[in-house]
A = this chain, B = another copy of it.
C-alpha cells in the first residue's frame, strides 16, 4: 500500500498501474490484499479503474480555495480561540527517537491477547448489540471489582451500577468538569498537571485554580486554601504516578487530602490514568479510603490494553453518578460493544496478570536506562525523583534555558521531547521537559541523552 502510494506520487496523471498479478508478484502479498489497497486508493480519488482497460493514476485536482471569510464574524460570537494540539499527540515518522509521546510502545502492550480477543468477538453478538448506555454489565462489574479489591473495609461500597463505561477517559474529564463543576465555577488543579485536563477545563469554561505540586504531590494546606478561597467544590488530581511529575501520594497524603476534600464538601476527581504502570510500587487509589462518595474515579484501558481499545470508566456514587450518566449519554450515547467485549475478554484472562508483572519489569528497566543515560551524557539535567511508576521522567533543564529553542534543537538532532510548559495551567516554574521512556527503541536512549546534552552545551542560552 505504502509503496503503491509512493509510485503514485511519482507517476504522471493517466499512467497505467501494473496489473494485479504483477503487484502480487512484486510485493509478495495476496490478490485480496492488492484488491483492497486498490479500493482504498480509488476511494481516495488517487486511481481510476476503467473496466476491461486497466487502472490509472489520477491527477491531483488543485482547485481554487473558496472564500470562508464570513465565518470569522459568525464564529467570533462563540468560543474565542481554539486550544492548540499538545505535543504529546504529535505523530512522528522515520528515524526520530520519540521521547515526547504519552503512550507506551507496541511491545509493552498485550498485542496477541487483544488480537485473539478481537477474533473471538468478531464471531459473537458484540457486532450487532447495542449495549446499555452505562456499559456492558460484565465490564461495569469488572471495573467495580477491581476498584473495590483495593479498598479499605470501611470504604463506601462500589457496585457495578456505580460504573459508567466511556469511550476513553478524556471524555470523562469533560463530563466530570461539566457535571461536578460547571461553566464559570472554580476547579482546583495541580500545577503542573495532565495537559488533557487543562484543555478539558478550558473547554468547559471552568475557572482554573492552580496549586503547586512536585515530586511529593500537593500540600493538603495549599489544597484547603485553594478550595476555601475560590469556593471550588472539586479538586482534580492524579494521585498515582502523576503526569508529568511521576509523583505518587504517600498514605498520609492520601488521608489528608481526602479529609480536606470532605471537610470542604468537595469532590476529588481522581484520574488513575497510570494504574497499570506501577514499577517499584503498585497504584493505591484514594477512592479505596473514601467513605462518603467524595471521590469520583477515572480509569482508562486505552494505554494499557491497546490504542484501539478506547474504553475507560468513571466510578461515582450518589447523585453525582446519575448526572454523569446523563451527561455521557448526551455526549456519546454508548460505547461500542466490540471494544467493551474485547476489553473485558483481555483483562479477565490469566495472561493479563502475567503481562502486567512483565510490564512492571520492562518499564523499570527502561526508566533506569534513560536515567543512567541522562546522568552520563546530560549531567546538567536535574531529576527531582526517579518515579515509582508511570511512563515518564520529568526533567528540569538548567535555569535560563530557552525551552522552545531547546525543543527545536533536539528535534534537529532527531530527538522529540515534551515541552514542559504544556503541563502548567499557570506560569511554568522553570524550564522542564517530559521524557517518555516507554516509547519505541529504548536501545537508543544513550544517543538521545547525548543529543540532549549536546543541545544544552551548544546553545548560547
* Chain A contacts to B: CB under 8 angstroms: 36, 39-40, 42-45, 63, 65-68, 70-75, 77-79, 82-85, 89, 91, 103, 106, 109, 111, 114-115, 118-123, 126-130, 132-133, 137-138, 141-142, 145, 156-157, 160, 167-168, 170-171, 174, 178-183, 185, 196, 199-200, 202-203, 205, 233, 265-267, 291-294, 306-310, 317-320, 322-323, 325-327, 329-339, 344-345, 348-349
Nearest CB of chain B from residue A103's CB, rounded to whole Å: 6
Q: Report Cα–Cα, A82/B333, bound state, in Å.
A: 14
Nearest CB of chain B from residue A108's CB, rounded to whole Å: 11
Using A39-B348, A66-B293 as known contacts, list a sample of 11 further A-B pairs with CB atoms less than 8 Å apart, ordered by residue number in A.
Answer: A36-B120, A66-B157, A68-B292, A78-B178, A82-B323, A89-B133, A115-B122, A118-B121, A118-B338, A127-B306, A331-B331
**How many monomers of this protein are in the complex?**
2
**Chain B contacts of A121 at CB under 8 A?**
118
Contact call A106/B128, Cβ cutoff below 8 A: yes
Q: Report Cα–Cα, A339/B348, bound state, in Å.
A: 22
**Chain B contacts of A72 at CB under 8 A?**
319
Contact call A83/B119, Cβ cutoff below 8 A: no
Contact call B348/A40, Cβ cutoff below 8 A: yes
Contact call A43/B336, Cβ cutoff below 8 A: no
Nearest CB of chain B from residue A67's CB, rounded to whole Å: 6
Q: Report Cα–Cα, A325/B85, bound state, in Å.
A: 9
Q: Report Cα–Cα, A433/B290, bound state, in Å.
A: 46
Q: Report Cα–Cα, A424/B75, bound state, in Å.
A: 27
Nearest CB of chain B from residue A440's CB, rounded to whole Å: 11
**Chain B contacts of A183 at CB under 8 A?**
183, 205
Beta-carbon nearest neighbor of A303 in chain B:
B130
**Chain B contacts of A170 at CB under 8 A?**
330-333
Nearest CB of chain B from residue A187's CB, rounded to whole Å: 10
Nearest CB of chain B from residue A330's CB, rounded to whole Å: 5
Contact call B265/A180, Cβ cutoff below 8 A: no
**Chain B contacts of A323 at CB under 8 A?**
75, 79, 82
Contact call B168/A333, Cβ cutoff below 8 A: yes
Contact call A180/B78, Cβ cutoff below 8 A: yes
**Chain B contacts of A318 at CB under 8 A?**
66, 68, 71
Contact call B292/A133, Cβ cutoff below 8 A: no
Contact call B141/A45, Cβ cutoff below 8 A: yes
Nearest CB of chain B from residue A89's CB, rounded to whole Å: 6
Beta-carbon nearest neighbor of A290 in chain B:
B66
State whether A78 and B181 are in contact (beta carbons under 8 Å apart), knowing that A115-B123, A123-B115, A338-B118 are contacts in the complex: yes
Contact call B200/A330, Cβ cutoff below 8 A: yes
Contact call B74/A317, Cβ cutoff below 8 A: no
Contact call A141/B43, Cβ cutoff below 8 A: yes
**Chain B contacts of A128 at CB under 8 A?**
106, 109, 111, 306-308
**Chain B contacts of A84 at CB under 8 A?**
326
State whether A85 and B329 are in contact (beta carbons under 8 Å apart), knowing that A36-B345, A44-B141, A348-B43 are contacts in the complex: yes
Beta-carbon nearest neighbor of A143 in chain B:
B43
Q: Report Cα–Cα, A314/B334, bound state, in Å.
A: 19
Among B75, B126, B266, B319, the residue within 8 A (CB) of A68 is B319
Q: Report Cα–Cα, A169/B119, bound state, in Å.
A: 27
Beta-carbon nearest neighbor of A46 in chain B:
B141
